[in-house]
């Protein structure tokens, strides 16, 4: 079925209007991304105004009408670029205004002298460059780096850029070779591509926003709110994966228990206790080393899985954490108490997660029994103190 150009214009305006309305509706569900969704919706409304002006361009002088259309369209593409950059907290407002001002000056001079060539081909170049830059920003974006929808969004902007490069450099060659009837074909293909872009681009943006929010919710469900470390559920899931992927390299595990923590809470209050927990988490992050999986198992109990870390290195890192933590609590402004930590290091012959946890736990009980504020290592093939009765283990942990 053949669709005339006027119908394609109406179809493009309709799809843009629906897409813009969906973006504005989604702003209510994604307050964190309300601004970028609003910017993208504004871009689509500029496209709509540009299309409506193009549908009625016969009522205006050629240079004036085409200049106004291209100003509206380029403004829309620059807003799309800013919406994409906004995902990483960046914006290019000043450079966008400068670019648009430069193009208006060039169009005012060249558009009146070479109207046909300029408006049919040359004006496609800035659109192609802007869409290409949009695809590049999406490709390099840290925010969307891990999202499955990123390749789709990149491909849409890249294809749109390639299409307009084709209009600028390939279409003139085809027209020269096959005659002016190619002009109407190019115009019709442009409208079909515009309909697809007006649907695909905003929908891919919404996919990014929704997938990002889903990952954020998942991350929150796996993170301890007070310390920012992984929670117990996340630890067992990620630790099991790390052990499967270690490729034969050494992996060590440290178990931590803050000394006299119940007394700190009882004597100085829970806000002080929370501050102590945060200071420990900060010390552990700084000294655990690259790739370490840190977790708050519950209360004042923590653990650290250290990939590519042998027994000696793990012992040194545990000692460094203990030293930094003790120093941090001594120097913390407004903190009315000092705190230390007892640390257990799993025996070097333990390689499965449950065995490593039991082994490190045994060493931790020994550290408590031998005076606290120290690192103890579990003996190979032994789970010292692990067979103690529950009441005695609880008593040692409370020390």
56-65: per-residue pLDDT in tens?
877 766 667 7
**pLDDT above 60 (res 313):** yes
Best-predicted range by mean pLDDT (308-312, 313-317, 349-353, 386-390): 313-317
At 103-136, the pLDDT tens digits run 888 777 766 665 555 666 778 899 999 999 999 9
pLDDT value for 386: 45
Binned at pLDDT 50, 70 and 90, residue 335 comes out as: confident
Print burial letters for 296-332: b (CB count within 10 Å at least 16), e (below 16): bbeebbbbbbbbebeeeebbebbebbbebbbebbeeb
- Of 187, 214, 197, give the one whose Cα is nearest residue 135: 197
- Of 192, 186, 46, give the one whose Cα is nearest residue 119: 186
Average pLDDT score over residue span 30-49 = 95
At 189-213, the pLDDT tens digits run 888 999 999 999 999 999 999 999 9
Domain ranges of the chain: 5-221, 232-398
- Of 153, 106, 101, give the one whose Cα is nearest residue 125: 106
**pLDDT above 50 (res 385):** no
The order of strands in the sheet holding 251-258 is: 293-298, 301-307, 251-258, 341-345, 375-377
Average pLDDT score over residue span 28-47 = 94
Average pLDDT score over residue span 270-293 = 93
What rounded mean pLDDT belongs to the chain?
A: 87
pLDDT value for 393: 46
pTM: 0.74
CATH code linked to domain 232-398: 3.30.70.270
**pLDDT above 60 (res 397):** no
pLDDT value for 120: 67
Average pLDDT score over residue span 229-250 = 85
Q: Reduce the secondary structure of 111-175 to three states and give it as a string.
A: HHHCHHHHHHHHCHHHHHHHHHHHHHHHHHCCCCCCCCCHHHHHHHHHHHHHHHHHHHHCHHHHH
pLDDT value for 119: 60
Contacts of 385 (CB under 8 A, 6+ apart): 362, 365, 366, 369, 393, 396
Of all residues in the chain, the percent with pLDDT exceeding 70 is 89
Average pLDDT score over residue span 157-162 = 96
């Amino acid at each position: 079925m053949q669709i005339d150009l006027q119908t394609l214009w109406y179809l493009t305006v309709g799809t843009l209007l629906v897409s813009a309305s969906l973006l504005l509706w989604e702003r209510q569900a994604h307050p964190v991304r309300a601004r970028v969704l609003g910017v993208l919706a504004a871009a689509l409304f500029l496209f709509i105004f540009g299309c409506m002006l193009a549908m009625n361009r016969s009522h205006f002088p050629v240079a004036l009408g085409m200049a106004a259309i291209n100003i509206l369209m380029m403004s829309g593409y620059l807003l799309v670029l800013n919406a994409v950059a906004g995902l990483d907290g960046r914006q290019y407002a000043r450079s966008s205004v400068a670019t648009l001002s430069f193009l208006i000056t060039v169009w005012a001079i060249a558009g009146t002298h070479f109207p046909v060539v300029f408006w049919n081909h040359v004006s496609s170049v800035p659109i192609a460059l802007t869409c290409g830059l949009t695809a590049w920003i999406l490709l390099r974006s840290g925010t969307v780096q891990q999202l499955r929808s990123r390749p789709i969004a990149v491909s849409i902007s890249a294809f749109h850029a390639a299409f307009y490069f084709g209009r600028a450099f390939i279409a003139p060659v085809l027209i020269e070779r096959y005659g002016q009837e190619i002009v109407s074909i190019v115009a019709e293909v442009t409208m079909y591509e515009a309909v697809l872009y007006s649907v695909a681009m905003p929908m891919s943006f919404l996919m990014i926003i929704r997938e990002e929010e889903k990952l954020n919710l998942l991350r929150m469900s796996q993170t301890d709110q007070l310390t920012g470390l992984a929670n117990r559920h996340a630890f067992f899931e990620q630790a099991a994966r790390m052990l499967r992927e270690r490729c034969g390299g050494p992996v060590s595990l440290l178990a931590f228990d803050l000394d006299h923590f119940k007394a700190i809470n009882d004597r100085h209050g829970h806000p002080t206790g929370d501050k102590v927990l945060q200071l420990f988490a900060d010390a552990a992050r700084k000294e655990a080393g690259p790739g370490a999986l840190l977790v708050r198992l519950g209360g004042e109990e923590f653990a650290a899985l250290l990939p590519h870390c042998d027994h000696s290195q793990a012992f040194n890192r545990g000692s460094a954490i203990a030293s930094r933590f003790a120093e941090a609590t001594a120097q913390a402004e407004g903190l009315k108490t000092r705190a230390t930590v007892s640390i257990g290091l799993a025996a070097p012959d333990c390689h499965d997660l449950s065995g490593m946890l039991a082994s490190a736990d045994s060493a931790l009980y020994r550290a408590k029994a031998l005076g606290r504020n120290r690192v103890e290592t579990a003996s190979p093939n032994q789970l010292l103190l692990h067979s103690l009765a529950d009441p005695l283990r609880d008593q040692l942990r409370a020390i």
